[in-house]
Amino acid sequence: MKRVTSYKLRVMHFAFLLFCFSAFLLPSLSAQKDTTFYKHEVKASCSDAFLASLFWEPDGYFYYANISFAYLYRPVKWFWVGGNFVFYAGNKIEYKWREYYPNGSFRDFSKSKINLCAVIAPEIRFSYLNKKRAILYSALSGGVGVENGYSKRNINYPKLVPYFHITYIGFSINFGKNYNIFLGGEGGSGFKGFVNFHGGYRF
C-alpha cells in the first residue's frame, strides 16, 4: 500500500512538473509559429526636422531633414522596446575671423562645414491593433544628441542636445510571403518630425 501511495505521489509530482513546463513553453512556441507575431523589427525612416531646428539651433543654423534607423524587440504582442539612431543634416555653416599683424595690416579668414547632429534614443511602443496585414501603435522615445558647429560667445561645440518624441499614431502595412516586410508612417510631435515614412523587416 505504501509503495502504491509513493508511486501515485511520484506520478502526480511528474504531472505537475510537466504541466508547469508546458504552461511556460507552449505559449512561446505558439508565438513563434504565429506569422503575425515577430519578435524583432528593424526599420529605416525619414522625416522633417522643423522642431529640431527651432529648439536646438541659434544664429541661423537649421536642419533640412533627418533619417533614422531603429531596432525594436517585442516580448509580447502589444509591447515593443528598443532604440533609435537619428541623423540630422542641415545647412552649410561658416566661421569668419580676422587676424591682425604687428605692422598694422590684417587678413580675413573663413571656414565652413555642414551642420550635423547624431542622436541615440531608447523607445517604447504600444500596439493596439495587431493584424496579419496591418499594425497600429503609439510610441514614446527620449535620448541625447551630439551636434557639431563652431564655438562662439557662450556656445561651445560639440554640444549635447536633448531629444524627445511622441508618436500619437503609427501604422505599418505588412506584405510579403510571411507578412514580415512593411511600409508605413507616423504622426507625432517632437524632434523626429511631425510626419515620417518608414520601411522595414520583422523576424
pTM over 0.85: no
Calpha distance 184→196 (Å, rounded): 9
Strands (E), the chain: 40-48, 63-76, 79-100, 106-130, 134-147, 159-175, 181-190, 195-202
Calpha distance 50→71 (Å, rounded): 24
34 secondary structure, DSSP code? -
> What does the pLDDT profile of the chain (203 residues) look like in tens digits?
444 445 444 545 544 554 454 444 444 444 445 556 899 999 999 999 888 888 886 666 788 899 999 999 999 999 999 999 999 999 888 888 889 999 888 999 888 888 899 999 999 999 999 999 999 999 999 999 999 888 877 778 898 999 999 999 999 999 999 999 999 999 999 999 999 999 999 99
Calpha distance 81→191 (Å, rounded): 19
Cβ neighbours around 189 below 10 Å, total: 13
Task: Output the pLDDT for position 38.
Answer: 93
Cβ neighbours around 190 below 10 Å, total: 18
